[in-house]
Structure 1
Amino acid sequence: MRHDIQPNERAYTTKEVAEEVGIATPTVRKYGQMLERYGYEFFKDGDRRIFVKTDVDALIAIRDTDKPLNEITKELVQLQKERLEAPPETEVAAPGTYDNSLQDPNQLKDFMRALASELAAAREMNVQLSNDMAQLKTTVSRLQQDHHVISSGVGNSAQKTQAKLEKLKEQQENQYETLLEQERQRSEMLQQELQNMREEQKKEWQMQNDFNKRLEQTVQHKPQGIFGKLFAMFRE
């Protein structure tokens, strides 16, 4: 148990230590937890740490060191143990002096004022945290809404794009079918024209053949003359 407090020595709250050392209040708590983890002792009022000058000096040493935090912390814990185990060179407060010092009206008044300030700071921090949480919830809600809007927009855009692609595909298929039907009709027309030409040619050949036969028959029934000789010449 600590017994190194001096008579009428000033007690510091966490906030006052932060202002004295020039570091943030959460940093003071962090350093205090590290020191306690390796065996450092603080004066306590319930769960609250009460800092004295040696504690402030320890925090300044941590602040200004170039060593790793665990190393300097262990050194400070060892120094405190050696200081507490060493025989007192001057009269020091006996165990309970701390409590007696706080019974002094002025000291008690200062201590209560410090606690009130600490409580006010804690309430202010809680209010700030509540406001930050509310703002964070609002931001998250807006982000969720924006995500929903973006997702809906992407979904609608994808549906519209798919509908356009399907419509374009249907138009291309219809156009292909139309071109194919036109080509088929054109092919049928060409085939019909070719068939008509063949029939016409066949008719002309038939007519020519009939004419030749009639001419030959006519010539054969007439007396031989100049036409007969000519016909004979064509036959040869």
Structure 2
Amino acid sequence: MRHDIQANERSFTTKEVAEELGIATPTVRKYGQILERNGYEFFKDGDRRVFVQSDVESLQAIRDTDRPLNDTAEDLVAEQKERLANYNHSDIALPDRPDTLPQDPNQLRDAFAFLANELAATRETNLQLTQSLDEMKSTVSRLKQDHHVISSAIGNSSQKTQSKIEKLTNEQRTYYEALLEQEKEKSESLQEELKAIREQQEKEWQQQNNFNKRLEEKIQRPQGTWGKLLSLFGK
């Protein structure tokens, strides 16, 4: 496990490293994965990498290398292991009781330096967590506002659509009622015409029937041919 953080040493997020090196955030993650596959150790906040200055320098070396990335990563891993092996803080063991604190001033200084480093790292992690929480709250608030705007827009659109549908329905109903009335009037007019035709036909049939009766009566009377004809057309 890494233990080489310095007192008040700054830590970097992935985004900050990307800005520092002038590369994309996914590229930082890619370089980090290459280093880890070869044995490099990063400080971690859960699953998220926390970078210190030495890590930034290692990523810069990966960025600027002309050699295969894995070869450069192996060299960087070897350098890190050597640096960690020579770091004195790994040998510090703090006693549990105040009366057993080391009396050697150098040991006390190393112990306090170790505590200061750990405290600085903890503060930096807490700061990053606070910033992440603030960003998350801001994102949630923005999403709520967007949801409200979208919901309002959908509601207004639905209301307008319903109004249009009702208007079209009423217009269609009025149109069909007017069309039905027109057809009804045409039907009544046609019936009147048919009635007039039937009455005219009945009148003509009656006249024809009367004519036929008179003709039959004239034929049955003993009169001359000319008299019969004259009597028929004289009536």
The separation in 2 between residues aligned to 1:23 and 1:110, in whole angstroms, is 23
The share of aligned pairs that are identical, in percent, is 51
Q: Which amino acid aligns with 2:100?
A: D
Deviation at 1:134, TM superposition (A): 0.8
| Aligned positions of 1:86-165 closer than 5 A | 99-100=100-101, 102-165=102-165
Deviation at 1:226, TM superposition (A): 3.1
User: Of the two, which has the highest radius of gyration?
Assistant: 1
Counterpart for residue 51 of structure 2: none
| Aligned positions of 1:174-193 closer than 5 A | 174-193=174-193
* Normalised TM-score (structure 2): 0.52
Cα pair distance change 1:54/1:106, threshold 3 Å: closer
| Aligned positions of 1:1-236 closer than 5 A | 16=3, 22-26=41-45, 99-100=100-101, 102-208=102-208, 224-230=223-229
Deviation at 1:176, TM superposition (A): 1.6
Deviation at 1:133, TM superposition (A): 0.9
Cα pair distance change 1:231/1:213, threshold 3 Å: farther
1:34-55, CA deviations, whole angstroms, 9 ceiling, x for partnerless residues?
xxxxxxxxxxxxxxxxx85599
**Between Structure 1 and Structure 2, how many residues are aligned?**
153
Deviation at 1:207, TM superposition (A): 4.2
Cα pair distance change 1:116/1:129, threshold 3 Å: same
Cα pair distance change 1:146/1:121, threshold 3 Å: same
The separation in 2 between residues aligned to 1:22 and 1:216, in whole angstroms, is 136
Deviation at 1:121, TM superposition (A): 1.7
- Structure 2 unaligned residues grouped into runs of 5+: 7-39, 47-88
* Normalised TM-score (structure 1): 0.52
Deviation at 1:168, TM superposition (A): 1.9
- Structure 1 unaligned residues grouped into runs of 5+: 1-13, 28-50, 56-94
The separation in 1 between residues aligned to 2:126 and 2:228, in whole angstroms, is 141
The separation in 1 between residues aligned to 2:5 and 2:118, in whole angstroms, is 12
1:157-185, CA deviations, whole angstroms, 9 ceiling, x for partnerless residues?
22222222222222222222122111111
The separation in 2 between residues aligned to 1:25 and 1:116, in whole angstroms, is 19
RMSD: 4.0
Q: Which amino acid aligns with 2:116?
A: A
The separation in 1 between residues aligned to 2:92 and 2:119, in whole angstroms, is 24
